[in-house]
């Protein structure tokens, strides 16, 4: 991967890690500390009935904005086992509201504290829900710019959606952060070194969520193999693939890695990934010839996984992402 491209589709990031937080794991973990992010915004929950008979939730930030028919609307897609409570979502919602935009978080099925109906959950390639939600907003009469930001797994979903629909995508512009563009490589990265701790933590949460929905008698997958899974690869082979119609983890990773869709994107799109992201390796970063002319890939040497803390103090850190993401999107709302 080269960041010296004549057409500037790949650029070096202007992000610089805070001098007191250089380590990639510290960048990844620190935002989750209780004092490290703003207070939780006030939210109003909407139940979203889906075409297949399932249900999910949209969390709308309560703002003093004008009625959201003509102002910019920002749709946020969260990461693995995330929700509107995730620090990055809270920060971006507040920053969008400060600009006079209407932000919301489209929850993945069965995430947060919201249970879906069907015997399924979510996965990295599920684009039907974002398609349906954006169409629903248009049918409700919303005529303003629709913008979208996806984080981690949500970023993969968003990029895949943009690639699948091309010019027909309903967003005006989009951005994605810390995206596992190659699910094979990301799965391998999380099974090495310190990154195994993230994997262990997330697997525990995912198994607990499954336990809230299924048991060994009602599960439409091998319950024993799932509960014994010690890696994402084993978990995806045991439950994600069969639960969502894939032949196995390799079929799932092949068909759902968003990196293969980047040449098909036709809406202005910013991707920000860090080379030190512990959820993947630099090998996931594509070359310029894998990107469409509408994609700008910003590569940072540091930042961890959805961290990007660039200053302040340990008690009042400042963050790079809200300003960078909204600044990019705002340029397409005029």
**Domains identified in the chain and CATH numbers:** 10-182+257-330 (3.40.50.1820), 184-256 (no CATH)
> In the numeric block, which tokens belong to residue 63?
């703002």
Instruction: Give the predicted TM-score (pTM) of the model.
Output: 0.95
| DSSP 8-state class, residue 40 | P
pLDDT tens-digit readout, 6-33: 578 999 999 999 999 999 999 999 999 9
Grade residue 3 by pLDDT with cuts at 50, 70 and 90: very low
Res 1 pLDDT > 60 = no
Grade residue 115 by pLDDT with cuts at 50, 70 and 90: confident
In DSSP terms, 61 is beta-bridged to: 43
Catalytic residue, candidates 152, 187, 195, 258:
152
pLDDT tens-digit readout, 117-151: 998 999 999 999 999 999 999 999 888 999 999 99
CA distance 107 to 126: 12
Res 91 pLDDT > 50 = yes
In DSSP terms, 146 is beta-bridged to: 73
pLDDT tens-digit readout, 171-194: 999 999 999 999 999 999 999 999
pLDDT at 67: 62
Whether residue 54 lies in the annotated active site: no
Range in 55-64, 67-76, 94-103, 248-257 the model is least confident about: 67-76
- The DSSP secondary structure of 47-81, one letter per residue, reads EEE-TTS-EEEEEEEP-SPPPTTSS-EEEEE--TT
pLDDT at 213: 86
Catalytic residue, candidates 97, 277, 294, 300:
277
- Mean pLDDT, the chain, rounded, equals 94
Catalytic residue, candidates 78, 123, 294, 305:
305
CB 157 within 8 A of CB 127: yes
Whether residue 277 lies in the annotated active site: yes
Q: What is the mean pLDDT of residues 71-93?
A: 96
Whether residue 184 lies in the annotated active site: no
pLDDT at 4: 47
pLDDT at 143: 86
Q: What is the mean pLDDT of residues 160-180?
A: 98
Grade residue 65 by pLDDT with cuts at 50, 70 and 90: low
pLDDT at 232: 95
Q: What is the mean pLDDT of residues 282-292?
A: 96
- The DSSP secondary structure of 317-329, one letter per residue, reads EEESHHHHHHHHH
Measuring CA to CA, which residue among 224, 241, 248 is closest to residue 121? Answer: 241
Res 2 pLDDT > 60 = no
pLDDT at 250: 97
pLDDT tens-digit readout, 288-309: 999 999 999 999 999 999 999 9
Q: Look at strands 55-61 and 173-177 and give their pairing.
A: unpaired
Res 322 pLDDT > 80 = yes
Strand order in the sheet with 102-106: 10-12, 295-300, 269-274, 173-177, 146-151, 73-77, 102-106, 55-61, 43-49
Q: What is the mean pLDDT of residues 64-76?
A: 80
Locate the DSSP E strands across the chain: 10-12, 43-49, 55-61, 73-77, 102-106, 146-151, 173-177, 269-274, 295-300, 309-312, 317-319
């Amino acid at each position: 991967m080269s960041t010296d491209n004549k057409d500037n589709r790949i650029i070096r990031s202007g992000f610089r890690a805070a001098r007191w937080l250089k380590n990639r794991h510290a960048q990844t973990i620190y935002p989750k500390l209780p004092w490290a992010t703003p207070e939780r915004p006030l939210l109003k929950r909407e139940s979203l009935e889906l075409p297949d008979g399932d249900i999910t939730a949209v969390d709308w930030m309560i703002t003093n904005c004008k009625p959201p028919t003509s102002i910019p609307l920002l749709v946020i897609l969260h990461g693995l086992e995330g929700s509107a409570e995730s620090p990055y979502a809270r920060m971006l919602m507040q920053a969008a509201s400060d600009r006079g935009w209407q932000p919301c978080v489209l929850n993945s099925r069965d995430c947060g504290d919201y249970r879906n109906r069907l015997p399924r959950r979510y996965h990295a390639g599920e684009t039907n829900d974002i398609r349906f939600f954006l169409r629903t907003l248009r049918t409700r009469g919303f005529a303003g710019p629709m913008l979208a930001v996806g984080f981690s797994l949500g970023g993969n979903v968003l990029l895949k959606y943009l690639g699948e629909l091309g010019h027909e995508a309903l967003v005006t512009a989009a951005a994605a952060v810390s995206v596992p563009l190659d699910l094979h490589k990301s799965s391998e990265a999380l099974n090495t070194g310190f990154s195994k701790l993230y994997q262990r933590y997330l697997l525990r949460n995912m198994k607990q969520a499954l336990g809230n929905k299924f048991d060994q008698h009602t599960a439409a997958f091998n319950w024993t193999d799932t509960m014994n899974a010690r890696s994402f690869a084993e978990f995806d082979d045991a439950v994600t693939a069969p639960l969502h119609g894939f032949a196995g983890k390799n079929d799932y990773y092949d068909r759902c890695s968003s990196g293969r869709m980047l040449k098909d994107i036709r809406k202005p799109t910013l991707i920000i990934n860090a080379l030190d992201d512990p959820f993947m390796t630099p090998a996931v970063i594509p070359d310029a010839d894998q990107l469409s002319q509408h994609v700008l890939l910003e590569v940072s040497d540091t930042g961890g996984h959805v961290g990007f803390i660039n200053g302040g103090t340990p008690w009042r850190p400042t963050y790079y992402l809200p300003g960078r993401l909204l600044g990019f999107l705002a340029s397409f709302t005029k």
